Amino acid sequence: MKNKTNMQKLFFKKNPATYTWILFFWSVTMCIFEYFAIKYSILPTYTNRHFFFVFLLILNQLFVAIFFFCGISNLVIAAKYQFIKKKEQQQELAILKQPLPKRWHPRVQLLYTTYNDFIPYAFAQCLNQTYDNVQGVILDNSTDEKYIKMIQQFVKVHPQVKWVRNAPNKHAKAGNLNSYLCKQPKESYDYFVILDSDELLENKFVEKCLKFFYHNHHLGILQCNHISGQNYNSFMNLFSNSGNIFWPVQNVIRSVESGTLAPNKNDQQPHIIERGSTVCIELGHGVMISRECFEDIGQIPHAVAEDLCTSVEALLKGWNIRFASQIYGNEEFPVDMSALMVRSSKFCSANFEFFRNYFKTLKKTKLLTFYQKLDLLSFTLSVPMNAFQYISLLLSSIIFPLSNIKLGYQLLMLFPVLVCYFSQGIIDGFFELQRGMKFHKMLLYEIQIAFLYGSFYYLTVKSTFFALLKRPAKFNVTPKKTKHITLTDAFKKNWQGIVFSLLTIVFSIICSGCSWILLSFLPGCLGFIFELKANQQGKQDQQKLKRFEKYNYYALYEPKHEPLKWNE
């Protein structure tokens, strides 16, 4: 018992609030910015009784404030991560070194969700666990007979795997999970792991996760680290680096400072044990959830951002969520630019849906601190932020110049603007240099990242516009396959974004002579060429793809063959 208590002290510990530093740097930056804006822009416009433009100037300041806040948040979180990462790694490893008690042998189910995207080698590898009390369950929404027959063959040679059909596909992934979990008796499982179709788990995944749960009985959800390693073309190889950096940097900090809650037990209401300053959330896959936590929630919320909604429901019931940086899963990065856009569009609309559904609840709850609510707001706004940037750019480069309204921003503000604008790219570059990337290659990587995500303006603005009109969010499955793409194909796929960017540039230059606008919208005109990188396959990529195809065959017809390595 003493050893278990010591492990809990490692798991839950007090840390200085990152958001204190974020708010400090943000406040200083905004004070300087507002000084120039009010003195040289807002007050003269007010004096001239142009009240409508005063309103627009203040609105623009709000967008700039959100923009600065998100950028400064990224930089402060990355700096904090650099400072604590070794210590956190050591403390996690201390928990993982502890053996599981022989008397404690919980039942774990691996819930593999699929909708016309079943990957045999992936699930076969996930089943290859060192912990023995594990059952695999395929939750299948597929409508394509090719995939249905493939699953049928897989189950035939893996008789221990349960196959559950949910043909109506109602409520997408959340509905698929609920249609199974809500009908299961208590004795069927103690914990379950949610898997996406391309998921690979390390062989000790379940064993490691259970160690974290054993050392804290208030832990309801454990999200594990991910790498995008199943990459087999140049697009995937290049741009997966950003995600591989983002996962640990953001989630370690959110886990460390998330405080400690206690759920409703012994007729006691959910309550705070240790106040937190950030919110750790589960990210939809490679996550283990306890049966008690799920039963307390009742069901996975029927929403596109079902993972974010599930996290909030668990927190409101007093369950803790943690991130384990030393427990790994492996997933495919989106196979091409179009697939990445599908995923980004889904995130944008899903975050607005979450905000509408949970704003009032989060505002009222006393289980989350002000900082934690601010963290959730920041996380929710991080995807549609590009839309706010676009509106601010339109006001600054077209509306105000046409109306002879001076902005009054001094050259002094150029540096923080650029730092915030490129905050995520700066972080990626810093950690790539630490990993051994040459400086000139890092610069090239930074330029390519800026052009790729800079070409997403149209997509983000469109998604945000429809979301504000309360158009229902859709759960679009990210495509797992790509075809050879010609330059003409790439242009046709992206012509709306290209026209959108060109018109913005032309109107800005005509109205105000703002040639600097090219920096923001040139990527939208040229970014479509990254569609072609999906065609590029090196020798290693081709070998890896053949290896995946070979292991697909083994998983379907020769299950006793040596499985694919989880970090392939």
The residues, any chain, with a CB within 8 Å of residue 83's CB and separated by 6 or more, are none
Own/partner contacts of 266-271, CB < 8 Å, gap of 24 or more, are 269/318, 270/316, 270/317, 270/318, 270/367, 271/318, 271/367
Report, as an integer, the average pLDDT of 59-86: 90
- Sign of the torsion formed by the C-alpha atoms of 27, 33, 36 and 42: negative
pLDDT at 2: 47
What are the pLDDT digits (tens) for 397-440? Answer: 788 888 888 877 666 666 777 777 778 888 888 888 888 889 99
pLDDT of residue 205: 97
Q: Report how far apart, in Å, the C-alpha atoms of 321 and of each of 87, 294, 308 are.
A: 20, 13, 12
pTM of the complete model? 0.91
Q: Which two tokens stand for residue 80?
A: 């904090």
Tens-digit pLDDT profile for residues 196-229: 999 999 999 999 999 999 998 799 999 999 988 8
- Check pLDDT > 50 for residue 13: no
User: For the ranges 210-219, 448-457, 508-517, which has the lowest average pLDDT?
Assistant: 508-517
Question: Residue 335 corresponds to which amino acid?
Answer: V
Match domain 99-333 to its CATH number in 3.40.50.300, 3.90.550.10, 3.30.70.100, 3.30.420.40. 3.90.550.10
Domain residues of the chain, as ranges? 99-333
pLDDT in tens, 515-529: 666 667 888 888 999
Question: What share of the chain in percent tops pLDDT 90?
Answer: 49
